[in-house]
Amino acid sequence: MSKLGPISWIKFVRRMRVLNFSGPYQEGKHPYMIKGNLSITIPNPHERDIGVDLLIRILRQAGISRLVWMKFK
């Protein structure tokens, strides 16, 4: 299995859309994406790439396994 690496905000959003999340939407400080009743907060787009540690936390919150994430690379 390939290792997770940093990902740009745009690529992250595109891949989350492939995984049936909609958005990003903005209310308050941070954008978020929605899938059914699940809402996940994502980092602001003006920041640098999303690092591996933050990516792992977001994927865990979204219920996305590393295997599924890497499948859509």
List, for residues 38-63, the tens digit of each pLDDT value.
Answer: 999 998 877 789 999 999 999 999 99
Cβ-contact 69, 21 below 8 angstroms = no
pTM summary value: 0.88
Which pLDDT does position 73 carry in this prediction? 75
As a whole number, mean pLDDT of residues 2-26 equals 92
Q: Where are the domains of the chain?
A: 9-71
Distance, in Å, from the CA atom of 32 to the CA atom of 25, rounded to the nearest integer, reads 5
Which pLDDT does position 46 carry in this prediction? 77
- From the options 3.40.190.290, 3.40.50.300, 2.60.40.1260, 3.30.920.30, give the CATH code of 9-71: 3.30.920.30
Which pLDDT does position 34 carry in this prediction? 96
User: What is the amino acid identity at position 40?
Assistant: I
2 — pLDDT class (breaks 50, 70, 90): low
Tell whether the torsion through CA atoms of 5, 68, 9 and 31 is positive or negative.
Answer: negative
Distance, in Å, from the CA atom of 11 to the CA atom of 18, rounded to the nearest integer, reads 11
Distance, in Å, from the CA atom of 67 to the CA atom of 12, rounded to the nearest integer, reads 15
